[in-house]
Amino acid sequence: MNSVFNALPVQDLARTGALPTAKPQSHIGSDDSAVHLLRDFAEHRLSVLSSDMSVSEARLWMRLADTSFKVVENQAGDCLGILAIEDVNGEKAMSVANRQGVPLKDVRVRDIMRPISELPAIHYRDLRAATVGDLVSTFREVHEGYLLVLDDDRRQPSRSFLRGLVCAEELLQRLDLAIDLDHRATKFYEIVHVVKGGF
């Protein structure tokens, strides 16, 4: 194969002392593309925990990584569920330990995670066509803090894979409330209730 590749033009920055850097779009509006909120695992390294890990170890890893959630995988690398920081910091682990009659140190991530069978999922093609306002409506309808985003496996068209996820808490933080305040305040309130579990 005789492919010809061309070098890109290189800019001379010899007289440049500093450059502004790109910043992520921090505020979004209801008419913006919903894709802005996707944590796309095809583009960003997936933050995972083993399902066999102890809850205390998971808590430490989540604090060190300063993350509100982690994906839980089995030994084969398949996603089993989501572990949110409130799951490891709350009463859930203690409740499971009491119910199983074991010490808290024996409770595993798989015991307190949110299994994928209980999480709502949307398709990537639908997300690409959706607006942030559509996501607000979806979170309001499903009463869950996370939406799994599935995509088709190009090598095996009959199979899907986990492309990423959308987090209601991030939507809440990035939603631009300066536009159409009265209308948005209602949606903001609804999202807060979804995120905090007040349905």
Cβ within 8 Å of residue 171, ≥6 positions away: 37, 132, 135, 136, 139, 191
Tell me which residue of 173, 176, 110, 179 sits closest to 145, measured CA to CA: 173
Token pair 């579990």 in the structure block, residue: 197
Phi and psi angles of residue 161, each rounded to the nearest 5 degrees, phi first: -135, 160
Tell me which amino acid residue 100 is: Q
pLDDT in tens, the chain (199 residues): 678 888 777 887 877 777 777 666 667 788 889 998 999 988 887 789 999 999 999 999 998 888 888 999 999 988 999 999 888 887 899 999 999 999 988 999 999 999 999 999 999 999 999 999 999 889 888 888 899 999 988 887 778 889 999 998 888 888 753 323 233 334 455 555 545 544 3
Phi-psi region of 115 (alpha: psi -120 to 50; beta: other; left: phi over 0): beta
Residue type, position 165, single letter:
L
CATH topology of domain 34-193: CBS-domain (3.10.580)
**What is the per-residue pLDDT for 177?**
38
Residue 71 is predicted with a pLDDT of: 93
Q: Are residues 161 and 97 in contact, defined by beta-carbon separation less than 8 angstroms? A: no
As to burial, measured by CB atoms within 10 angstroms (0-12 exposed, 13-18 middle, 19+ buried), residue 142 is middle
**Residue 47 burial by Cβ neighbours in a 10 Å radius (0-12, 13-18, 19+):** middle
The pTM of this model reads: 0.73
